[in-house]
Amino acid sequence: MGPEELVERIKSLLGDFAKDIKIWKNDYIEVEVDKENIEEVAKRMKEFGFDHVKDLTVVDYMKEGFFRIIYNLGSYDNFELSYYIVGIAYNIPRDKPVTKTLYYIYTSADFQEREAYEAFGITFEGHPDLRPVLLSPPVAELKPLRKDFVVKEDPEIITKKK
Amino acid sequence: MPAKPVNKQVPSKGGIFSKFKGNIEAIAIGVKFFFNPQRFTLIYPKEYIKLKEGYRGFIVLRKDKCINCGSCARICPAAAMRLIRLPFTDPKTGKTRMKLWPVINYNRCIFCGYCVDVCPTEALYHVPYHDVVYETMDIMDLDLEMFQKEPEWDTEKLGLPVKYVVDEKMGLIKVKIKEEGEKQ
Amino acid sequence: MSGIIRTQGAQVGFNDLKLPGMWSRKIGKDLYEIFIGPQHPGSGHMRIVIRIDGDVIVEADPDMGYVHRTMEKLSEVRTWIKGIPLFERMAIHDACNVTLPYVRAVEKLMDIEAPERAKYLRVLLCEINRIAAFLYGFGIFGVFLGHSTMYMWPFGDREVWVELAEWLTGARLTHSYPVFGGVRRDVPAGFTDALRKAIRYMRKRLEDYRKIFVDNPVIRARLEDVGVIPKNLAIELGITGPNLRASGVKYDVRLNHPYEVYDQLDFEIPVFQEGDAYARVWQRVEEIKQSLNILEQVADWLDKHPRTPILHDKFWKTAPPLYKKIFEETGRAKLGAVYAIMKVPAGKAYERAETARGEISYYVESNGGNKPYRIRIHSASARNALVYKYIVPGHRVMDLPAIYGSIDYFPPEADR
Amino acid sequence: MSGILDAIIKIITWPPLWQLVVLGLLVPLGVVIFILWFERKTAARVQRRIGPYHVSPKIAGGLQLIADLMRYMFQEVIIPKTVDKFPFIVAPLAALILSIVPVVAIPFTSIKAYFPIDMSYSLIISLALLTLSPLFIILSGWASNNKFSIIGGMREAYLITAYELVAVLAFLSAGAITGSFNLVDIVEAQSGVKWFIILNPLAFAAAFIGVLLSTSGFPFEIAESEHEVVAGAFTEYSGLVYGMNMGAAYLKRMIFSIMITVVFLGGWQPYTPGEGFIAGYLVPSIVILVKATILMMIFSFFRAVYGRYRLDQALDIAWKILFPLAVLGFGLGLLEAYLGII
């Protein structure tokens, strides 16, 4: 199954929910949806054969003012689908980072939603155990993966010592 | 030809006989190694491993080859390599100019060897050892003069050089290297 | 979905005991709470909070993050090449496997591909790393079950593979071997012979392992029917790697999304059906055997083919004569200065690879600059950590080390 | 002059003192130190290592154990604030003493003059004393007031129920064969090659595994299992007190080994005690100690080849395999007594 064919099938599966579908580098398909429909989309994708969340990525577009939440779905059981990763992406505003959890559809998203919560401060409504997983609570409050948390990496390659 | 999945089975649980056999086998192999231990321990300060050529150990600068390009400092992932501005007198023209020279901070170095690989004139090279002792953290931050010397390797004075050779029976065997490079 | 025990009652920010800066929670009166870790001999750099009723665990809460090094954030402030030594610190004994998808993702964005010889060399180091990592896992597993010989033997035999990796790359563990467009060194003279010897040695040793550990009745008693992950639950939780295949799922990135030259090599993906800790041990034994097969084929290929450039033409065409001379003499491919200031075209790429502990995936996004815009890593151990929460409850306290060891959890990899 | 010397020798060789201090404490202590060294060396050989080496390379690291002993002796003894101090300190001491005491009931010779206490129920007395010391391990775990200690203590308590009956039954089967609970009679009955290990291998196997269980030897090192309960009941102990705890386990194993030697391995047979101190007391006790040491070496070899069983599996083994085995051994003993093999 070529990527184009998969895109067609996803289009017919999701109908109007899919706002935009892009193919990146032949094996990564990014499907843009709306925040409101995410649960329905996830349910349909799971029935379609994408049975687990490979990873949950949040990208901070600080200048544009939104977070892009991407559930990268993969398949274990279906050999043809397992070649592809489908990223279900939707945007939420930076100043109100609240969204719905997919924990009850994809159990594999459990810790990853906690990670997104600690690193970006995104609240997943309905997640039963939303607390930091890697960071300690005081550090998690700084939301370290947001772009406005700046890490000072010494860019200077010329030293003045000695 | 791609990989193919193959279904496998764990051995069945078996009865008392297979349990008995398992116990006997375990004890037998224990006894076998008890009488023939096959060890290859390195007795460290008394022996040391003479590492192979190409080992990424400490880094030394050949100043005469350096063209002051700064690539090494730019590629250093740990920010251990830095450039320092020092006057340099050109032996041909006799003019003195300020130039940028690399210096290394071994507090930070991770021995990835990118600097050596990226150097366009092979002005940097690895010495094949890594067990060097510095007395304080300060002197690990080398200056240009120290950076040109191979660090002092005390292990060499204390012990005998050995090397490990991959062997079919033992895995690794310890081979003593004689002074002249003869093998025992 | 069935069989999953969902934790109840935990709310965001609960702090029953009013402790500053930490979460705390009251537990039932007849429960006993034990902290396994982080300074516990039975844990790695992590903590598992278990609540036990008698000898049976009723709830387990893995508390990771003790070796979190903010790799995703750090990579955003460093140039592209600096990511390689950074990411391989996730699992230093599995360095090539862990960094390879990152390198490949960046190569995808740059639309380049490594030369064939470099691909074979990558596979060579990947499989050496895989075997070494499996042996490492066996060692930890052995000591968790109190079997000290199984601790020492794999660690000693791992030395063979570490020695080979050192010979090939110049470093015992953190090889930083693959770079964008190829690898850094060609095989030294005499390497393939030593490799073949090591392969034959390892095959023999696996039989020894079987006798003293895998078929040992004590160990079998500890592992059989312990930590069973049924197939549907394994898929649901997104378990990965040998743990997944031991549960009967035919999924291996080398099979489903072949990378480098894995589609040209002849090897098997062993799959077990039982899904218990004992099947996971056998899974690893079988995978070592397959890795040895792969290594044999790679050694044959390398013997047949003379030395050709191991960096992509984009980098190697412009290389000065000195570089080519050094490559001919020593096999070291020197890197062009462009690596330090390289820019990667804007775009997104998703790449994964099969490490010793399972699938690692990288989401790489570039905005065309000399630094990544966003890199998301999800490592195998991080995915397997769900096992503690969903599989451990219902087992006895003494099963915890058995399950911990059998899923080969490696905290530094999970914490990133 | 010679009178004083004689008096001193007489005091030292006074059977109760000699037996308790020399045969009960000093010699086993020496054997335990040797066994600890042997255990480490054995494990090292099987595991392709060198083991203790750097302290004294010429005698294969033999002084390493002395160094370790010194370390335990001079280490600070930390008594945490939260522990119950009196039982915390007394429990390991009591456990240590109780592991040695059974030796007063074990005869090392058949000459009556050299019995510390002459009694006809020595088998039962020594067994009863031997099974006392684990109570104090439970006590020390309890007194430590630490979660791991309490779990370790509870595990020990479970194990007691498992091995006590097995060990007692297995040893008593010797009494069934001979019709006497006097250890001297039991040894005398094993003259020639009629050792009870040959006559009654079932009881011997049960006793052997029972001893492994009771002294937490591999594969039954469960109560101190490092990977769940840190050091079990001894988690909070340090320094000399910890060393006492550990020493008690090994001393107990030594005394158990002596018991097995006497009951199953023919005691001082094939040697027949003669007249005088040396021929009548010293040589037979050496024979017994050598046999016991070999037994100890076999026990410690298991460390190199086995992991540990789970607690419930150990109990399973004890109740489902060892207990029937011990009963069968007892029955076999009765049968042999009935047939008059002895």
Tens-digit pLDDT profile for chain D (342 aa)? Answer: 677 888 887 777 777 777 777 777 788 788 888 888 888 888 888 888 888 888 888 887 778 888 888 888 888 888 888 888 888 888 888 888 888 888 878 887 777 767 777 777 888 888 888 888 888 888 888 888 888 888 888 888 888 888 888 888 888 888 888 878 888 878 877 777 777 777 788 888 888 888 888 887 778 888 777 777 777 788 888 888 888 887 888 888 888 888 888 888 877 777 777 777 777 777 888 888 888 888 888 888 888 888 888 888 888 888 888 888 888 888 888 888 888 776
Chain D residues within an 8 Å CB radius of C32: 147
What is the per-residue pLDDT for C7?
41
SS3 content of chain C, % helix, strand, coil (to 5): 50, 15, 35
Q: Is residue A161 part of a domain?
A: no
Enclosing domain of residue A45: 3-103
CA distances from B140 to B107, B133, B137, B146 (A): 6, 9, 5, 10
User: Cis peptide before C38, with omega less than 30 degrees from 0?
Assistant: yes
* Contact between C340 and B118 using a beta-carbon 8 Å cutoff: yes
* Contact between A159 and B82 using a beta-carbon 8 Å cutoff: yes
Instruction: Report the CATH number that the domain containing residue B70 is assigned in CATH.
Output: 3.30.70.3270
Q: pLDDT grade, residue C24 (50/70/90)? A: low
Q: Is residue B182 part of a domain?
A: no
Task: Count how many domains chain B has.
Answer: 1
Neighbours of chain B (3+ CB pairs under 8 A): A, C, D
Enclosing domain of residue B71: 59-150
Identify from A80, A157, A161, A162 which residue to disrupt to test chain B contact, counting B C-beta atoms within 10 A and taking the largest count.
A157
- Taking the CB of residue C309, how many other CB atoms lie within 10 A of it? 18
Lowest mean pLDDT among A112-116, B127-131, C289-293, D117-121: D117-121
Enclosing domain of residue D208: 2-339
Task: Count how many domains chain D has.
Answer: 1
Whether residue A55 contacts residue A112, with contact meaning beta carbons closer than 8 Å, is answered with yes
Q: What is the pLDDT of residues B22-79, one digit of tens each?
A: 888 888 888 888 888 888 888 888 888 888 888 888 888 888 888 888 888 888 888 8
Name the token pair of C324: 């080519």
Q: What is the pLDDT of residues C191-218, one digit of tens each?
A: 889 899 999 999 988 888 888 888 888 8
* CATH superfamily of the C71-384 domain: Cytochrome-c3 Hydrogenase, chain B (1.10.645.10)
Identify from B1, B7, B10, B68 which residue to disrupt to test chain C contact, counting C C-beta atoms within 10 A and taking the largest count.
B10
Domain boundaries, chain C: 71-384
Q: Is residue A30 part of a domain?
A: yes
Task: Give the sign of the dihedral formed by CA B122, CA B128, CA B131, CA B133.
Answer: negative
Instruction: Report the CATH number that the domain containing residue A70 is assigned in CATH.
Output: 3.30.460.80
What is the per-residue pLDDT for A28?
87
For D149, nearest residue in chain C (alpha carbons): C34
How many whole angstroms separate alpha carbon D270 and alpha carbon D293? 17
Radius of gyration of chain C (CA): 22
Does C41 touch chain D if contact means CB atoms closer than 8 Å? yes
Question: Residue C10: pLDDT above 50?
Answer: no
For A162, nearest residue in chain B (alpha carbons): B143
How many whole angstroms separate alpha carbon C257 and alpha carbon C246? 19
What is the per-residue pLDDT for C6?
39
Name the token pair of C258: 């072949």
Facing D304 at nearest CB: one of B30, B40, B41: B30
Name the token pair of B156: 């060499």
For D307, nearest residue in chain C (alpha carbons): C147
Q: In B, residues 19-78, which contact D (CB 8 Å cutoff)?
A: 26-27, 29-30, 33-34, 37-41, 43
* Regions of chain A short of the pLDDT cut 50: none
Chain C residues within an 8 Å CB radius of B164: 159, 163
For B5, nearest residue in chain A (alpha carbons): A79
Q: Is residue B174 part of a domain?
A: no
For D38, nearest residue in chain B (alpha carbons): B34
Q: Is residue B162 part of a domain?
A: no
What is the per-residue pLDDT for C11?
40
Facing A76 at nearest CB: one of C251, C382, C415: C251
Q: Is residue B97 part of a domain?
A: yes
Q: pLDDT grade, residue C27 (50/70/90)? A: low
Q: Is residue B45 part of a domain?
A: no
What is the per-residue pLDDT for C1?
33
- Taking the CB of residue B19, how many other CB atoms lie within 10 A of it? 17
The predicted model gives B102-121 an average pLDDT of 87
The predicted model gives C345-349 an average pLDDT of 88
How many whole angstroms separate alpha carbon D105 and alpha carbon D94? 18
Does B28 touch chain C if contact means CB atoms closer than 8 Å? yes
Chain A residues within an 8 Å CB radius of B85: 158
The answer to whether A and B touch (≥3 CB pairs < 8 Å) is yes
Listed residue (C198, C184, C171) closest to C122, CA to CA: C184
Does B27 touch chain C if contact means CB atoms closer than 8 Å? no
* Contact between C374 and A57 using a beta-carbon 8 Å cutoff: yes
- Taking the CB of residue A113, how many other CB atoms lie within 10 A of it? 27
Chain C residues within an 8 Å CB radius of D212: none
**Amino acid letter, D77:** V
Q: 3-state DSSP call for residue C336?
A: coil
Does D198 touch chain B if contact means CB atoms closer than 8 Å? no
* Contact between C184 and B71 using a beta-carbon 8 Å cutoff: no
What is the per-residue pLDDT for B1?
67
* Contact between C337 and B164 using a beta-carbon 8 Å cutoff: no
Does C350 touch chain A if contact means CB atoms closer than 8 Å? yes
Chain A residues within an 8 Å CB radius of B100: 158
Task: Count how many domains chain A has.
Answer: 1
Can you tell me the ipTM of this complex?
0.88
Residue C369, by phi and psi: left (phi above 0), alpha (psi -120 to 50) or beta?
beta
Does C258 touch chain A if contact means CB atoms closer than 8 Å? no
Identify from C335, C341, C342, C406 which residue to disrupt to test chain B contact, counting B C-beta atoms within 10 A and taking the largest count.
C335
Q: Is residue B167 part of a domain?
A: no
The answer to whether D and A touch (≥3 CB pairs < 8 Å) is no
* Contact between C21 and A136 using a beta-carbon 8 Å cutoff: yes
**Nearest-CA distance from C34 to chain A in Å?**
19
The predicted model gives C94-119 an average pLDDT of 89
CA distances from B94 to B65, B88, B97 (A): 18, 10, 10
**Amino acid letter, A12:** S
Q: Give the whole-number percent of chain C exceeding pLDDT 90.
A: 3
Identify from C52, C145, C201, C205 which residue to disrupt to test chain D contact, counting D C-beta atoms within 10 A and taking the largest count.
C145
Higher-pLDDT residue of C415 and D278 is C415
For A157, nearest residue in chain B (alpha carbons): B82
The predicted model gives C25-51 an average pLDDT of 77
What is the per-residue pLDDT for C23?
61
Facing A131 at nearest CB: one of C6, C23, C359: C23
**Amino acid letter, D277:** F
Question: Residue B92: pLDDT above 80?
Answer: no
Beta bridge partners of C271: B7
Does C22 touch chain A if contact means CB atoms closer than 8 Å? yes
Name the token pair of C350: 């998703």
How many whole angstroms separate alpha carbon C11 and alpha carbon B177? 66
The predicted model gives B97-126 an average pLDDT of 86
Q: pLDDT grade, residue B181 (50/70/90)? A: low
Q: Is residue A53 part of a domain?
A: yes
What is the per-residue pLDDT for D162?
81
Please list, in sequence order, all residues whose beta carbon lies within 8 angstroms of the beta carbon of residue A147, skipping any fewer than 6 positions away: A60, A62
What is the per-residue pLDDT for B5?
81
How many whole angstroms separate alpha carbon C39 and alpha carbon C43? 7
